Amino acid sequence: MDPRIKLPDWTPHFAERHALFSPLQPLVQKFAAFEQWPQLEDMQRVLDAWPRPVVNLNGDAIRLVEQAAKPSCFEEMYVSRIFHSGELQTRRNNWHDYFQYLTWFMFPHSKALINSLHIPRAQARLQNQELGRRTPLENMLSLFDEGGALLVSSDESLFELVRDFKWRELFVEHRKSFGRQFECVVFGHAVYEKGLSPYVGMTANCILIHVDATYFQLSWPQKWQQLDRLLYERLQHDPAFRQPKALSPFPLLGVPGWDAANEDEAYYLNQNYFRPGRRGAEVSV
C-alpha cells in the first residue's frame, strides 16, 4: 500500500465506501456493532463460531495470533506457522491484516492451498541460502493472494475482451452484462485495503472463472463456495498457473458503479489506465 494514501480509522460501515466490498457483506455484519476496532479475541470468536471450519491444508483450525518478531528459523516464518499449526499472525487495528482474515472465510480451501504451495519452495530456498530468489510460482501466488481478483462470467466472449484488452467494448458496449453475466470478485486483501481510498490506476491480477448462468442468482456465501472450489481446482491442476504472466491485469475502476466518473464514456479513453496491453496467457474453466 502506498504510504502516501491515508486510510480511514475503523468504522463498521466501511463496506459502504465502495461497491468492491459487496462480497464481504455477510462478514461485515458480524462486526456491525463494533464502534472501535474488533480485537483478535473478537475476531477469533467469529472464526470459531463459523458453521464450516476454516482450516489449513493439514486440517488444523486457523487461529489468530499476535505478529511475532523477525523469525529466527523456518518454522517461525509467516507461511510456516499457518501450514504447521494454523497460526495466522495478525496485527491489531490493521486494515491489511483484517482483510486477510476475512478472505479466509470466503476462500478457505484456496487460501490453504496457496499457503501449502509456498512451503516446499520456501524450504528449498532456505536450504540453498537463496532467500531472495523466489520461484515464478511463488511470485504468481503472492501477486494473486495480495492483489488478485476473480473475473467470473457465463459468457466466454467477455473473457476474450479481457484477454485482448478491449476495455471500451467490455465496459461500455457490454455494460449491461455486469451483474448478469460478468462480475469481479476481489480475492486479494491488499486490493480490499486499497478500496478504502480508491484511485484511478487500481489494477488487479486476475484469474478467469467460467460459471453457468445460475451462479448470478446465488447468495454471496453460495458464490464463495462455488468460486473457492473452482479456484482450488485451477491452482491445483492447471499447469498454466505457474508464473505471473498467467494472471490477467484488470482495471478495477472500469467496472460500472465502481467509480462515479465512469458513467461518462470518455472515462475509458484514458490509455494510461485502460492500456492496450499484451494478450495474457490466461485461460478459463
Q: What is the pLDDT of residues 151-201, one digit of tens each?
A: 999 999 999 999 999 999 999 999 999 999 999 999 999 999 999 999 999
What's residue 3's pLDDT? 55
Position 283 confidence tier, pLDDT thresholds 50, 70, 90: very low
Sheet holding 182-186, edge to edge: 182-186, 148-153, 203-210, 248-251
Confidence of residue 280 (pLDDT cuts 50, 70, 90): very low
Per-residue burial over 225-258, b = 16 or more CB atoms within 10 Å of its CB, e = otherwise: bbbbebbbebbeeeeebeebebbbebbbbbbbeb
* Of 226, 230, 210, 206, the residue nearest 218 (C-alpha): 226
Which cell numbers hold the place of 19? 461497491
pTM of the complete model: 0.93
pLDDT of 279: 53
Rounded Cα distance, 84 and 76, in Å:
10
Q: Which grid coordinates belong to 222?
A: 453460495
pLDDT tens per residue across span 198-216: 999 999 999 999 999 999 9
The pLDDT assigned to 125 comes to 78
